[in-house]
Amino acid sequence: MSYNFYPGPSKVYPQIATYFQEAMDLGILEKNHRSDSFHELFATTKTLLKSKLNIPLDYEIVMVSSATECWEIIAQSFVKKASIHYYNGAFGEKWFNYTSKIHSSSEGQEFNISEFVEIKNPTDSPELIALTHNETSNGYAIPENYQKYIRDLFPDSLIAYDATSSMAGYDLNWDLGDIWYASVQKCFGLPSGMAIMIVSPKAIGVAKEIGDNKFYNSFNFVLKNARKNETHYTPNISNIFLLNRLMQNVENIRAIYNNLIERKELFFNQLTEIDYLAPIITNPEFQSDTVFCLSSNERKLKTIKQVADKKGFILGNGYGELKDTTLRIANFPAIPNQDFIELINFFQQL
């Protein structure tokens, strides 16, 4: 018996095996991706996503290869000269560093994990503001009231969110962002190899005005294909099919998110009795609901991981600068509630 709490690629929904066999039986994996069969699959998948994740009807959904590709698409197609990136973790910083290779005038501002970025007297509206909604490296999340603060402060700017470890877990307020993206191997509970971008009419208008069409993944070309229920490259048909079947059968995101919050509360209530672990995000307001990053001393962490491995618990290592002093635990929807009870028992008995 194993219990997978790795924060990505993470546990997949158990019904994925059944869905994959169905795809084999139907022959959809062998279909031409310009065929009517694929068009229907793509169209119904987008409709299901909007229904189950409560995405506004006027937002567009496109499929790409990875969240990393989204960095490139955003820089190429939604920014003329520069974007500004606010971050406090490794993945937000990587996004900024990649964008800087395309737009060297882009700015990065790091802020502390115990608070939200302080923006003093903004004098202009940046083209695009880049934020990591849920920082997988340290378990920091931006609360909705701060998302509203950014939207109100910069009403004319595009706002882009990396939601890689929150989309399909959080009940997101989509109107507070213009570009949202996530890969599917975390909260979606799918195998890796695909990402989803969700884009507002405002952002689509900006991309059209900029007019980038130089690359195979220029957004205007990506969107043109998506509106024909096609992709800009040979797609990951298996993951699109699995996503389709999953969205048919999972609950609405509000119910999913409520369950994740209840599990988080249970876990952190019990954590107060475990003196060798503590969340590195000490302010509950900024603690992620889907990724728990816990600190301990290096020697104790080594013991925890060794014993966990023997007992079948797959825990996430720390990331980047936090590699040797933290462990990460995924609270993703595909993980059964009973697995969390077993994890709590494991920590209490260690």
pLDDT, position 157? 97
Q: Kindly state the average pLDDT of the residues 201-213.
A: 97
Whether the pLDDT of residue 347 is over 80: the answer is yes
Q: Give the chain's domains with CATH numbers.
A: 3-10+253-349 (3.90.1150.10), 16-249 (3.40.640.10)
Strand partners, 237: none
Structure confidence by residue, pLDDT tens digits, 138-162: 999 999 999 999 999 999 999 999 9
Q: Are 68 and 187 in contact (CB under 8 A)?
A: no
CA distance 254 to 243: 18
- Model pLDDT for residues 268-278, shown as the tens digit of each residue: 999 888 889 99
The answer, yes or no, to whether residue 294 has pLDDT greater than 70, is: yes
How far is the C-alpha of 122 from the C-alpha of 154, rounded, in Å? 9
Reported as a single tens digit per residue, the pLDDT across 216-270 is 999 999 999 999 999 999 999 999 999 999 999 999 999 999 999 999 999 999 9
**Edge to edge, what strands does the sheet with 195-199 contain?**
60-64, 195-199, 179-183, 158-162, 128-132, 84-87, 107-110
Instruction: Specify the higher pLDDT residue, 104 or 125.
Output: 104
CA-CA-CA-CA torsion sign (137, 138, 144, 149): negative
Q: What is the mean pLDDT of residues 55-73?
A: 98
Distance, in Å, from the CA atom of 68 to the CA atom of 64, rounded to the nearest integer, reads 10
Query: How far apart are the C-alpha atoms of 202 and 216, rounded to whole Å?
Result: 22
Q: Which two tokens stand for residue 291?
A: 């990724």
Return the pLDDT at 122.
Answer: 64
Mean predicted lDDT score pLDDT of the chain: 96
Q: What is the pLDDT of residue 117?
A: 87
CA distances from 96 to 135, 222, 304 (A): 14, 23, 34
Residue 121 — very low, low, confident or very high, per pLDDT cuts 50/70/90?
Answer: low
- What is the band of 123 on the pLDDT scale with cuts at 50, 70, 90? low
Contact present, 142 and 284 (Cβ < 8 Å): no
Three-state SS for the chain is CCEECCCCCCCCCCCHHHHHHHHHHHCHHHCCCCCHHHHHHHHHHHHHHHHHHCCCCCCEEEEECCHHHHHHHHHHHCCCCCCEEEECCHHHHHHHHHHHHHCCCCEEEECCCCCCCCCCCCCCCCCEEEEECEECCCCEECCHHHHHHHHHHCCCCEEEEECCCCECCECCCHHHCCEEEEECCCCCCCCCCCEEEEECHHHHHHHHHHCCCCCCCCHHHHHHHHCCCCCCCCCCHHHHHHHHHHHHHCCCHHHHHHHHHHHHHHHHHHHCCCCCCEECCCCHHHECCCEEEEECCHHHHHHHHHHHHHHCEECEECCHHHCCCEEEEECCCCCCHHHHHHHHHHHHHC
* Type of residue at 34: R
